[in-house]
C-alpha cells in the first residue's frame, strides 16, 4: 500500500494542466431602429373595429351551453381512429383516447377541443368541421380529418 500512496502523491506532481485561452469577444456594431418613417400598425385606418363587430355577430358560433362530449376533452391530434362499425346505412367510428378508453362516435357527434362536429365517416377517415376563432374575433369553420391509425 505504501508504494500506491507514493504513486498517487507523486504521479501528477510535476505536471500543470493546460488551460485554453478565452476566445476573443467580438464587439457588435450598434443598430439604430428608425420606425418613424414606417406605417403605424395601430393607426385608425388599419383597425377594422366596425367591420369586425359586424362580421363577428353574423358567422357561425359554437353552442357554449351544450354539454361537452367525452371526446372533446382531448386535442384532435391525440385521438386515434382504430376502426369503424356499421349497421345498414348508419356508420360509427371507433376512436381511442389518449387515456386508453375507446369511444364510438357517429355523424353529428363532437370531438376535439375546437368544437369539431363529425360530418362524414368512411372506412379509413373521419371528416370534421371545426370552429376556430379568427384574428378579428369572429368564428371560422375549418375542415379537419382523423385518419385510421396504422397498427
At residue 101, the pLDDT reads: 93
pLDDT band at 49 (very low <50, low <70, confident <90, very high): low
Element (H, E) at 64: none
Distances in whole angstroms, Cα of residue 9 to Cα of each of 13, 15, 18, 28, 67: 7, 12, 20, 48, 77
Place of cell 369553420: 141
Identify the architecture of domain 44-61+69-147 in CATH: Roll (2.30)
CA distance 77 to 88: 30
At residue 109, the pLDDT reads: 94
CA distance 86 to 57: 39
Domain parsing of the chain, residue ranges: 44-61+69-147
On the question of pLDDT at 104 being above 70, the answer is yes
What are the beta bridge partners of residue 129? 117, 143
Q: What tens digit of pLDDT does each residue of 52-96 get?
A: 444 445 678 888 888 999 999 999 999 999 999 999 889 999 999
Amino acid at each position: 500500500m505504501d508504494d500506491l500512496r507514493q504513486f498517487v502523491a507523486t504521479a501528477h506532481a510535476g505536471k500543470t494542466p493546460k488551460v485554453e485561452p478565452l476566445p476573443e469577444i467580438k464587439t457588435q456594431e450598434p443598430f439604430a431602429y428608425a420606425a418613424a418613417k414606417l406605417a403605424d400598425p395601430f393607426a385608425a385606418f388599419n383597425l377594422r373595429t366596425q367591420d369586425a363587430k359586424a362580421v363577428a355577430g353574423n358567422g357561425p358560433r359554437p353552442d357554449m351551453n351544450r354539454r361537452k362530449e367525452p371526446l372533446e376533452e382531448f386535442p384532435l391530434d391525440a385521438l386515434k381512429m382504430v376502426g369503424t362499425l356499421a349497421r345498414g346505412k348508419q356508420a360509427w367510428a371507433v376512436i381511442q383516447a389518449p387515456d386508453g378508453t375507446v369511444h364510438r362516435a357517429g355523424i353529428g357527434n363532437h370531438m376535439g377541443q375546437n368544437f369539431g362536429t363529425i360530418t362524414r365517416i368512411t372506412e379509413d377517415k373521419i371528416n370534421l368541421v371545426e370552429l376556430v376563432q379568427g384574428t378579428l374575433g369572429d368564428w371560422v369553420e375549418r375542415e379537419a380529418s382523423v385518419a385510421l391509425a396504422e397498427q
